[in-house]
Amino acid sequence: MTRDELKEHILKKYDGLLTPLETGVFDLMFEVKPANLTNVARMLRDDEQLKFDFLNNIAGVDTGEQFEVVYSLSSISNNLRLDFKLVLPYDEAVVDSVKDIWTAADWHEREIWELYGIDVNNHDNLKRFLLPDDWDQGYPMRKDWDAPDFVRMPEL
């Protein structure tokens, strides 16, 4: 299946659930509504023609205006690649866990919970992870984060 065929297939079969975006430079990029996440994820994995069984990466992003969570998927058996993302306003920073669908999501979700403060529903293991156990300085990957001993590099 080529890139265009994949796009066509998704648009035909998942109309309204996945909205194509033009920002993905090389691979396909779609937007998914946060409420539909688990639904879409399960369908992408179980669809015989797609079979996205391999979760490459989950990246949390703070754009300065909103949070985004980007999921990168690939299919081992059909050799396909696809990305989709959720857009979350600052005051509704909650995602559903996809740990049941791809086990690999476990730690990635813990990481966005810890570093961005994005809450993850239905995740049973949200504990301190990368930061020290006694960390109390908030969510360091947010753009507006600051701390007394945090030294920014001076502009050259």
Interaction pattern, residues 68-107, with another protein; x per rule: CB under 8 A: --x-x-x-x--x-x-x------------------xxx-xx
Task: List, in order, residues 6 or more apart from 84 with CB less than 8 Å away.
Answer: 18, 29, 30, 31, 32, 40, 70, 71, 73
Tell me: does residue 144 bind another protein (CB under 8 A).
Answer: no
46 binds another protein (CB under 8 A): no
Q: Is residue 64 a contact residue for another protein (CB under 8 A)?
A: yes
Residue 129 contacts another protein per CB under 8 A: yes
Listed residue (53, 19, 49, 23) closest to 36, CA to CA: 19
Binds another protein by CB under 8 A, chosen from 17, 40, 62, 117: 62
Q: Rg of the chain's alpha carbons, rounded to an integer?
A: 17
SS3 readout for 66-117: CEEEEEEEEECCCCEEEEEEEEECHHHCEEECCCCCCCCHHHHHHHHHHHHC
> Nearest approach, Cβ of 141 to another protein (angstroms)?
6
Contact footprint for another protein (CB under 8 A): 23-27, 29, 53-57, 59-64, 70, 72, 74, 76, 79, 81, 83, 102-104, 106-107, 128-133, 137, 140-141, 145, 147, 149-153
